[in-house]
Amino acid sequence: MAQRLDVLMDLPGNGPYPIFAQVEGKRARTGIVLAASGAPVSRLAAEAGENAPPVDLSLERRLEAVTPLAPRSPDVTHRVILAGAMAPYTWSLNGEYWPNVTPLMIDHGQRVAIEMVNHSMMAHPMHLHGHAFPGGRDKWCPIRRCRARYCPGAAHEQPHHPLSRHPGRWAFHCHNLYHMMTGMVTEVRYPEII
């Protein structure tokens, strides 16, 4: 949910190449068709042959850095507990609900680890505005992201290390908007911006 990719492709030949996105646990799908100019594009079925498997972290575990970032220990680590329940339908970060939250404070130039532990039964695609962080199984992987998924019951997921250089007050929230609207939002804040 809300993941962005910048992809450069070379399409072989003159044929069409469908790219599908399928709903987790369902057969419904959507997508696009990449095709060379003038290539025939036929109508494609709106449903896949079988249900999509649960979304997990298997893609992230397969990614590797071609050129790893310089190893550097974080200057500060913030531990964030993702919690909530279906009844009552409320979701929190560190037991707090927006707008009554304690911001995650960082200083300009710090390397910051945000260690997330998911104590809930649902996955939470966490989104940090204004920053990108390494992704992949290697914590120094140069793939840059602004969102990462934390699966149910996951403890001590790979810490992410944004190098803070964007002063301001930045939203950090679950990108499942139903979770965000019940309070699963906090703030990453630089001390000079109060």
Sign of the Cα torsion 81, 82, 86, 90 reads positive
d(C-alpha 113, C-alpha 188), whole Å? 12
Shared domain for 108 and 179, answered yes or no, is yes
Helix (H) or strand (E) holding 59: helix 58-62
pLDDT (average), residues 87-91: 92
Task: Examine residue 18 and say whether the peptide bond preceding it is cis (omega within 30 degrees of 0).
Answer: no
CATH at residue 135: 2.60.40.420
Shared domain for 48 and 80, answered yes or no, is no
pLDDT of residue 179: 94
pLDDT of residue 136: 46
Give me the percent of the chain exceeding a pLDDT of 70: 72
Strand partners, 44: none
Helix (H) or strand (E) holding 58: helix 58-62
- Count how many domains the chain has: 2
Shared domain for 182 and 133, answered yes or no, is yes
Which of 7-21, 55-69, 168-182 bottoms out in mean pLDDT, i.e. has the lowest?
Answer: 55-69
Residues with Cβ within 8 Å of residue 110, at least 6 apart in sequence? 74, 75, 76, 163, 164
Give me the percent of the chain exceeding a pLDDT of 90: 28
**Selection from 9-23, 36-50, 83-97, 121-135 with the highest mean pLDDT:** 83-97
Shared domain for 87 and 183, answered yes or no, is yes
Residue 58 lies in a domain: no
The three-point CA angle 139-140-144 to 5° equals 95
